[in-house]
Amino acid sequence: MAQLWGGRFTKATDQIVYDFNASINFDKKLFEQDVRGSRAHVTMLASVGVITDDEKNQILAGLDGIEADVKSGALQITSEYEDVHSFVEANLIDRIGDAGKKLHTGRSRNDQVALDMKLYTREQVNSTAKALEHLLNTILGIMEENIDTIMPGFTHLQKAQPITVAHHMGAYFEMFKRDVMRLAFINSSMYTCPLGSGALAGTTYPLDRDMTAKLLGFEIPTLNSMDGVSDRDYLIEFLSALCTIQMHLSRFSEEIIIWNSNEYRFIEIDDAFSTGSSIMPQKKNPDIAELVRGKTGRVYGALMSLLTTMKGIPLAYNKDMQEDKEMSFDAMKTVQDCIILFDGMLSTIKFNKDVMAKSARNGFTNATDAADYLVNKGVPFRDAHGIIGQIVLACIDKGIAIDDMSLEELRSYSEAFDEDIFDAISMETCVNKRLTVGAPGHDVMLDEIQLCKDFMKNI
């Protein structure tokens, strides 16, 4: 047990207390951030004259050595230390002696961990955005290839109106685009640096907090030291954004599972992204999509966990806050893994265009357009709705589509039908006449794709 605070104590911590209290097994993830923070701190301490340049140089060289040894594996971060901060400081003192004992001057583990967590979160926000950008490009590629690939659009999981694969994919493009914008906003709101807040009340040393803030890539220091050490809002915001990303992935996964099912056969997931059954030889299961959908639970759990942990904490730092890490780290990794896996699966999916087109045609997805046709011929909409309803009923009975009926048959329901009905309710017409902004029509979809491309260029 290597503790930094033994002086005031007359006996050693009970082993189970030590283990319960320790965070090294998970906060070792913050090693790089911890060293970066220490470098900035000692650089500033020397610049304001709290330590000498020689001491600063010794400490920086010591930190370089520790970092190199941890990277090479020569030095392991083990549970012999209480947390990553103790690990770095104890190793520094072992290496360079007395100068190492000055590292923690004017600093507390409270502002140290607040900084480490913020630096780590900032990096994760950026890497998540990068993964999403890749996914957006994949979606955009599918859109460009499928501007004219007709499929049924659904409401209530009932066939509704014909759309295209490009249009359906475009909906997910918008969702993940909002996610990228949310991450950019979270990133820009993390501009204050907690280092220098001390334990809670700042310090009596003449710290140059502006300098450390700049060295660490922040704009300004946090403006209240109690809030500085105990603010985890940015983490809650990131977890909330991760929950939304995961919710989007989960909805997409659900559709992929449905489309890939034996009943739908709209798509086929590539063998490389499918799994088999140990007993049923015929099976090819969409396990990756199911897992992505399933992992949503733990990501939501991380947000609920942190919100609940934070809700009863009086100012300023309390040990409860150590609980901000494990589930957050898990959620960050889970979501990035899910994005990457999902992206790979999506980019290798095969669309069964014929099956989709047939499904659209056989599902009365042109019924609205047939009613609109009658309206254009002077029939009031409510009457037209009723006439087409009767035709649909008859078609269901015969197992045919509306445009399988002869003109004669159609005219027995309404004199307003003419030869041009067949063209008016073809799937192609139904889609391509939908030209309002955001609709699936070919011409407007070209504009939408251009806007997607512009977005990708500007991120």
Question: Which residue, 117 or 143, has its beta carbon nearer to ligand ARG?
Answer: 117
Using Cβ positions, the residue closest to ligand ARG within the complex turns out to be 322
Angle of the 31-47 helix axis to the 53-72 helix axis, nearest 10: 170
Residue 110's alpha-carbon distances to 115, 200, 202, 289, in angstroms, are 9, 8, 11, 41
Residue 127 or 322 with smaller CB distance to ligand ARG: 322
Comparing CB distances to ligand ARG, the nearer of 5 and 272 is 5
Q: Which amino acid is at 201?
A: A
Alpha helix segments (H runs only) across 218-275: 225-230, 233-260
**Phi and psi torsions of 163, nearest 5°:** -135, -165
- Give the residue with the Cβ less far from ligand ARG, 23 or 336: 23
Q: Output 137 or 322, the one with its CB closest to ligand ARG.
A: 322
User: Kind and range of the H or E element at 446?
Assistant: helix 442-458
Burial level of 16, CB count in 10 A (0-12/13-18/19+)? Answer: exposed
Spot the catalytic one: 189, 261, 277, 412.
277
Residue 433, both tokens: 């006449």
Residue from 72, 156, 188, 278 carrying the catalytic annotation: 156
Residue 332 C-beta: closest distance to ligand ARG, Å: 16
CB of 298 to ligand ARG, least distance (A): 21
CB nearer to ligand ARG: pick between 11 and 319: 319
Q: Specify the residue, 26 or 455, whose C-beta has the smaller distance to ligand ARG.
A: 26
Among this protein's residues, is 277 annotated catalytic? yes
CB-based burial, 264-299: b 16+ in 10 Å, e otherwise: eebbbbeeebbeeeeeeeeeeebebbeebbebbeeb
**In whole angstroms, how close is the CB of 20 to ligand ARG at the nearest point?**
12
CB of residue 197 to ligand ARG, shortest distance in Å: 12
Identify residue 263 by its one-letter amino acid code: E
198 near 222, Cβ under 8 Å? no
Question: Distance (Å, rounded) from C-alpha 102 to C-alpha 20?
Answer: 29
- Residue 156 annotated among the catalytic residues of the structure: yes
For the CB of residue 321, give the shortest distance to ligand ARG in the complex, in Å.
5
CA 331/CA 326 separation, integer angstroms: 9
Cβ 126 to ligand ARG shortest distance, Å: 22
* Cβ–Cβ under 8 Å, residues 449 and 438: no
Contact positions toward ligand ARG, by CB under 6 A? 23, 27, 83, 109-110, 113, 319, 321-322
Closest contact distance (angstroms) between CB of 308 and ligand ARG is 17
Asked if residues 333 and 325 have their Cβ atoms less than 8 Å apart, the reply is no
Please give the Cα distance from 97 to 46 (Å, whole number).
18
Catalytic residue IDs: 156, 277
